[in-house]
Amino acid sequence: MFFDTGIGLKVYGAIEALGNEFAHIQMLPYQQKLFYDYQFPDFRLIDGPTVRQGRLQFKVKDRWRSVCTALTNWTAIDTGAACKSMGYGDGGFWKWYLR
């Protein structure tokens, strides 16, 4: 969050701030604004009956790889974030799609 001169924030209750190891939460004066250049992976859905269903893949080093929840620590939260990055409201596990 960035605050211009003379601007502040009063909280009556609690603030819930979600960050991660790549996107730290910081509250700074406006003149200390930081810029990050993150490279997030590309996602796509393939082999599904509609454009909103299918096998989730992500691109790493110019190669598409499938997300397999049985072999990775991929969670419903990860799936939701990937689907939101593709413009969908949310995502979820449904069934296995054969190649």
Concatenating the DSSP letter of every residue in 35-76 gives -----PPPEEEES-SSTT-SEEEEEETTEEEE--TTTS---H
For residue 57, being part of any structural domain is answered with yes
Helix (H, G, I), strand (E, B) or coil at 2: strand
For residue 26, being part of any structural domain is answered with no
For residue 29, being part of any structural domain is answered with no
Sign of CA dihedral 51, 55, 59, 62: negative
| 72-85 confidence digits (pLDDT tens) | 677 778 878 888 87
Range(s) of the domain holding residue 77: 43-85
For residue 47, being part of any structural domain is answered with yes
For residue 13, being part of any structural domain is answered with no
Q: What is the pLDDT of residue 99?
A: 59
For residue 51, being part of any structural domain is answered with yes
pLDDT range class, residue 37, cuts 50, 70, 90:
low
For residue 32, being part of any structural domain is answered with no
What's the total number of domains in the chain? 1
Q: What is the pLDDT of residue 17?
A: 74
Residue 38, CA distances (Å) to 3, 41, 51, 60, 66 in order: 23, 10, 27, 14, 22
> What's the whole-model pTM score?
0.48
